[in-house]
Amino acid sequence: MNRKVSVAPMMDCTDRHERYFLRLISKNVLLYTEMIVSEAIVRGDKKKLLSFNINEKPVALQLGGSSPKLLATCSKIGEEFGYDEINLNLGCPSKKVQKNKFGACLIKEPNLVTDCLNEMQSSTKLPVTVKTRIGYDDVEDYESLFNFINLLKSTGVKTFIIHARKAMLGKFTPKQNLNIPPLKYEMVYKLKKDFKDLEIIINGGISSVDEINDHLNKVNGVMLGRSIYHSPYILADIEREIFKNLNVLSRKDVIQELVPYVKKETEKGTRMNQIMRHTLGLFHGQAGSSFWKRYLSENLCVRDADIKKIDHIMDKIKFNNVDTRVGQSA
């Protein structure tokens, strides 16, 4: 599994439509699902929650939960659905998640986490990985982080994705938790020095190829989140400069390739806005970007959008001077 660069699991963002769209731009980055709660999988519509297009691969399933048995069951189900990795969320700080006892609050219960990881690994042949933070509330010293990772390592887990911020449990909103706690990359770098046998992926506030290259000198991989959602064509730069793949679609070609997918999905009952909302940032920083966002918002990203309008989207790009070149993203 190549985890050199990956796109973070993001609630209400990295659904199957977003992942299909991103895969049109990048053939090499590892993609993650949104966090999916283990109880929802066991009790709900598994096909609706877990189905994905084969073209999205490689794709990892991120689970949220704290029941070792349920997480084990879901790990097995994830393997059966064709995912390439199972990831346990130990980083989400939202109050709703805490109430249900999963996410970042589990950092406070390391023995329970080890039970979960042991059960998960016993139920699947897929790699089981962890996404966590450097600490929580007033616990943000390196020794605590080291001890936590060292304990989890004893389960056999080899890959740790570390968001280089602590989680403020019950004090900040999820949005504030993404901005207010300071980034402490040096703690993640030190983890890699102290755990040379582990694959350490760094996450948090990373938005350019230069930053990626700098981090890759110190850790095994880099995970990007919001920067990709708001400006997805950054992935084109990553393809060319990190993966040395020069066969990258232009922005125009990305949309042209997306249109048949949109038509096929709407025939199945998917609303067009559920797909096209993910493309709002495709032309970020380019000539015509404002027109693109306005046109989508008024025509293709409304709840009852007319599917016939998708047939005219290429003309709208052409005649409104939207810059579609393969040049670097802004």
Q: In this structure, are residues 262 and 276 in contact, taking their beta carbons and an 8 Å threshold?
A: yes
Integer Rg of the chain from CA: 20
How far out from the chain centre does Cα 132 lie?
A: 13
CA atoms of 94 and 88, how far apart (whole Å): 16
Given a contact cutoff of 8 angstroms between Cβ atoms, the answer to whether 31 and 23 are in contact is: yes
Amino acid at 184: K
Q: Which two tokens stand for residue 208?
A: 């350019």
Tell which residue, 268, 280, 278, has the closest CA to residue 307: 268
Who contacts 180 (Cβ-Cβ below 8 Å, separation ≥6)? 168, 172
For tokens 């049109």, the residue is 24
- Spatial contact of 226 and 196, defined as CB atoms under 8 Å apart: no
Contacts 24+ apart (CB under 8 A), 217-223: 218/189, 218/192, 219/188, 219/189, 219/192, 220/3, 220/4, 220/192, 221/3, 221/4, 221/5, 221/6, 222/4, 222/5, 222/6, 223/5, 223/6, 223/7, 223/8, 223/161
Catalytic residue among 13, 92, 105, 301: 92
Query: 244 is written with which tokens?
Result: 């040395």
**193, containing H or E segment:** helix 185-194
Is the bond into 58 cis (omega within 30 degrees of 0)?
yes
DSSP string covering 17-31, please?
HHHHHHHHH-SSSEE
92: annotated active-site residue: yes
**Count of CA atoms in the C-beta half-sphere (13 A) of 263:** 12
**Residues with a known catalytic role:** 92
